[in-house]
Structure 1
Amino acid sequence: MCPKPARLSVGVVSAGRVGAVLGAALARAGHVITAVSAVSRESLRRAEELLPGAAVLPPDEVAARADLVLLAVPDDALPGMVRGLAAAGALRAGQIVVHTCGAHGVEVLAPAAEHGALGLALHPVMTFTGRPEDLQRIAACAFGITAADGDEVAWNVAEALVVEMGAEPVRVPPAARPLYHTALAHGANHLVTLVGECVDLLRDAGVATPQRLLGPLLSAALDNALRHGDRALTGPVARGDAGTVARHVEVLAEHAPEKLPAYRALAARTVTRAVDAGLLRADRAPDVAAAIEGETP
């Protein structure tokens, strides 16, 4: 069972979509948001709406006032932010310094650790609008959490903070953090790209409301994939219908050649996975692979 952290003063750097919402979630759990950094009009609005009463201050002053420093800044900005706060004397022993980046583990917080602070990585696996409704969505999401290897106290603190916010903590070992984030980005970001490509093709085909066709189909495909893995594969590649695949390639080459490389790459991966799952007979796979490359089966 995770120990419940004491009531903490929290400083949020900065009031972007993630920081403002997580700050509000920590306040809802009983902690006190003492200060927040915000510069743009949107971040100032979020700070006022989600973190009322928090002083708006520069990042070093925000950190200096806090027991828990929440660093919700872009991945590439995080290392410089940590170094800058440490150099400014804003970090100290006894603090908890948390970042929300998916790509980094706790190694990026080494300058904070050198000052005696406890470094944690808490990455919420959801998309944020920066609005109050995100607080309800947190309850349905998981956080990828990382602490230093062998420091069970740190892992327990990370778990407790996530549970307090109403979410589910999932341990990600430090060495696995890059692969973990690659997997999430590959799935979520490229799914949006793929759906956009499908919408474009349907509009080009004269379908006025592509979303009405794709919504139920893709929702069911995602649900089945998560439940059943590769056994959920359907369609001409998994069935071994090389002629249909060849026609797809011809149509894309004629009407949307810029989309053909992505179709070929995904179809080729589907051949491999369908064979491994026992859905596509191995003797049919060469014909389907040939069709994908535009060769006559």
Structure 2
Amino acid sequence: MPGRPEGTAASRRVDAVRRDGRLGVGIIGAGRVGPVVGAALAGAGHAITGITSGSDDERVSAVLPDVPVLDALEVVRRSELVVLAVPHAELPGLVRGLADLGAWQLGQLVLHTDAAHGIEVLRAAAEKGAIPLAVHPAMAFTGTTIDLRQLSASYAAVTAPAPVLPIAQALAVELGCEPVVVEEADRAAYAEAIATASEFSRQIVRQATGILRGIGVENPGGYLSALVRSTVDQALTEASPAIPDLPPEE
């Protein structure tokens, strides 16, 4: 995967942009993830330059008030950091299409939020001099400001070329997440783990609430809430490595 090593014009531009800790951030993708990522970065001091239109612009404006709605080319033109928060299947074509239009800029940061893709999917942008970053917050998004609190308790899978890995990690921290480096070759396995946990949880809850509803229990979701949360918390505790006892102080 081509990247821009330290000392190149690209890395110098990133250093200059970040000298005051502020980036112009554009969001392509107005679903559940993009607006929330934009709001988190705005909260960290960055300026949101624009976001593309989606199916619920009213919800987006509630999360990102006063942010202009622009087409993708204008978002890229205005931004030092472009966040791509689009469905998995759309990401490769979007990156290639913008490259064919000459949109990507030398030294521009391009970050996507997809679980399964690493930075290879951003090759077309990197070939134009952009800096590829993959940051996936491991949480279920609602697309509302409620997610901002959840981000602060989440981890994020980070993949980037070695010279710019600290930038990707710093952006994950600015989202509120604890960054965990996932190698390019491991992104598919990572995505499988995320999908397994997400889909299995949903299916089990749906099955259980259906059974309770069938025997006349009102509000089965509320009835199971404490049980499901405590069971998941216990399972996660059991899955975490035990902290060894410290030796007694002498």
Same fold, TM-score > 0.5, yes or no: yes
1:156 to 160, 166, 186: 166
Residue aligning to 1:61: 74
Q: Secondary structure at the match of 2:95?
A: helix
AA at the equivalent of 2:32 = R
Residue aligning to 2:139: 126
- Return the structure number with greater helix share: 1
The separation in 1 between residues aligned to 2:149 and 2:217, in whole angstroms, is: 35
CA contact (8 A) 2:24 2:79 kept: yes
Residue aligning to 1:136: 149
Evaluate the alpha carbon distance shift between residue 34 and residue 190 of structure 1 in structure 2; reply closer, same or farther with a 3 A threshold: same
- Gaps in structure 1 of 5+ consecutive residues: 231-297
1:81 to 94, 113, 134: 94
Is 1:26–2:41 an aligned residue pair? yes
Residue aligning to 2:51: 36
Q: How many angstroms does 1:213 deviate by?
A: 4.7
AA at the equivalent of 2:141 = F
Q: Count how many residue pairs are aligned between Structure 1 and Structure 2.
A: 223
Is 1:170–2:180 an aligned residue pair? yes
Q: How many angstroms does 1:35 deviate by?
A: 1.6
Residue aligning to 2:62: 49
Q: TM-score by structure 2 length?
A: 0.83
Q: RMSD of the TM alignment (CA)? A: 2.0
AA at the equivalent of 1:60 = L
Residue aligning to 2:227: 217
Q: How many angstroms does 1:209 deviate by?
A: 4.4
Evaluate the alpha carbon distance shift between residue 212 and residue 15 of structure 1 in structure 2; reply closer, same or farther with a 3 A threshold: closer
Looking at CA atoms only, which structure, 1 or 2, has the larger radius of gyration? 1
The separation in 2 between residues aligned to 1:207 and 1:71, in whole angstroms, is: 43
| CA deviation string 1:121-153 (max 9, x = no partner) | 1111111222122222211111111113xx1x3
CA contact (8 A) 2:158 2:169 kept: yes
Moved over 6 A (4+): none
Evaluate the alpha carbon distance shift between residue 131 and residue 217 of structure 1 in structure 2; reply closer, same or farther with a 3 A threshold: closer
1:13 to 8, 28, 45: 28
Q: Percentage identity across aligned positions? A: 45
The separation in 2 between residues aligned to 1:117 and 1:212, in whole angstroms, is: 47
The separation in 1 between residues aligned to 2:96 and 2:71, in whole angstroms, is: 15
Residue aligning to 1:290: none
1:106 to 109, 113, 119: 119
